Amino acid sequence: MASTKRTRILMIYTGGTIGMMENPDTHALEPFPFENLLKNVPKISMLDFDVETFQFKKPLDSSSMNPTHWGEIAEIIRKNYDDYDGFVVLHGTDTMAYTASALSFMLENLTKPVVITGSQLPIGEVRTDGEENLITALQVAAARDRYGNHIVREVAILFENYLWRGNRSTKHSSTNFNAFTSNNYPPLAKIGLGISFNDYALWHPTKAEEQQTLKVHLGMDTNVLYLDLFPGIREDHVRHLLNTPGVKGIIMKTFGAGNGPTEPWFLKLIREAVDRGMVIVNITQCSNGSVHPRRYVTGYELLQAGVIPGHDLTPEAAITKMMYLFGKNLSIEEVKEQMECPIAGEMTCL
Ligand code: ASP
């Protein structure tokens, strides 16, 4: 049932370039308190809905974000979930795709918009992209369909001309205003003169899912690593990495459709690690496409060795999903099973 109450959006400021100012001594950009940001966007008061704000005690450059900060954002959303119609998270661009992916797993049964945005230029600069991104993110978070339902019911990234699914997105440019993309999933919306939503790409919870209450998972297990293959990778280095004390899971970035060397030492090390209980997930180094481990013998050997196909997962979604699953204290078999299947729209299994 559509509500007749005035829409309320909670804006959570975590830091990032959008709110930074130049340090007069070093000339480097540093995070700045929120008032500075709001002072530069008087247009917020012209919106036909209410915007309230919450700021991190110490705004961060997102390169310093870790799972504790993701948990802080998730907790703020949980505490305010019933009181607001949507959430906008202001965040640095560098690790935005990791935060978006992590939150998509941590916020189970989410049915309200969580729109993450930031900017390439500080909001105080004349040519800033921050003002437009901020205002559009607020409008996306407040958007309802003609029946009065939220249009966005998932974690998304809004940047310049597009709205992307959070766990499908990646930062692909350090200089362009269109800094984000999704290489394997269409945009949730295109931003031009208007905001044009792609209904077929948006997340639509089932009736049963709609009845569930928001469940926040704060446990993220960071005993995970990437193994990035390259021609010439050394046996002693791979052995060292696979035997890192405490590590439970590895995201292996492989060539093309999921291929790796078939040299006996390599396959032996992988097999031994899997036999010891290590979860190894295969994702491709290609920015577009999926792993197809049965296409070439090189991929098939990995499958035979017990490596799990990660389909078209982004590196950001793969590593945060693994942290989330291990954080739930699931058995190794359960982690493997769930790494192979979508749980929050993060992968397509062909
Ligand atoms: N280093 C900044 C950050 O990620 C970059 C940005 O916000 O664009 O916080």
- 139-152 pLDDT, tens per residue? 999 999 999 999 99
120 lines ligand 1 (CB under 6 A): yes
Of 34-43, 240-249, 294-303, the least confident: 34-43
Q: Place 172 in a pLDDT band, splitting at 50, 70 and 90.
A: very high
How many Å lie between the centroid of ligand 1 and the Cα of residue 32?
13
Sign of the CA dihedral with 30 first, then 36, 40, and 46 last? positive
How many Å lie between the centroid of ligand 1 and the Cα of residue 118?
8
Q: Tell me what pLDDT residue 35 has.
A: 74
Q: Place 348 in a pLDDT band, splitting at 50, 70 and 90.
A: very high
194-211 mean pLDDT: 94
How many Å lie between the centroid of ligand 1 and the Cα of residue 120?
7
17 lines ligand 1 (CB under 6 A): yes
335-340 mean pLDDT: 97
99 is catalytic: no
Element (H, E) at 267: helix 264-275
> In the predicted model, is pLDDT for residue 229 greater than 70?
yes
Helices (H) and strands (E) in the chain, counts: 10, 18
Q: Tell me what pLDDT residue 20 has.
A: 84
Q: Place 21 in a pLDDT band, splitting at 50, 70 and 90.
A: confident
Give dist(CA 91, CA 65) in Å, integer. Answer: 10
Predicted TM-score of the model (pTM): 0.96
Q: Tell me what pLDDT residue 4 has.
A: 67
118 lines ligand 1 (CB under 6 A): yes
- Find, among 197, 261, 264, 192, the residue nearest to 230 by Cα: 261
In the chain, pLDDT over 70 holds for what percent of residues? 99
Q: Place 3 in a pLDDT band, splitting at 50, 70 and 90.
A: low
63 lines ligand 1 (CB under 6 A): yes
Which of 4, 7, 14, 17 is the catalytic position? Answer: 17
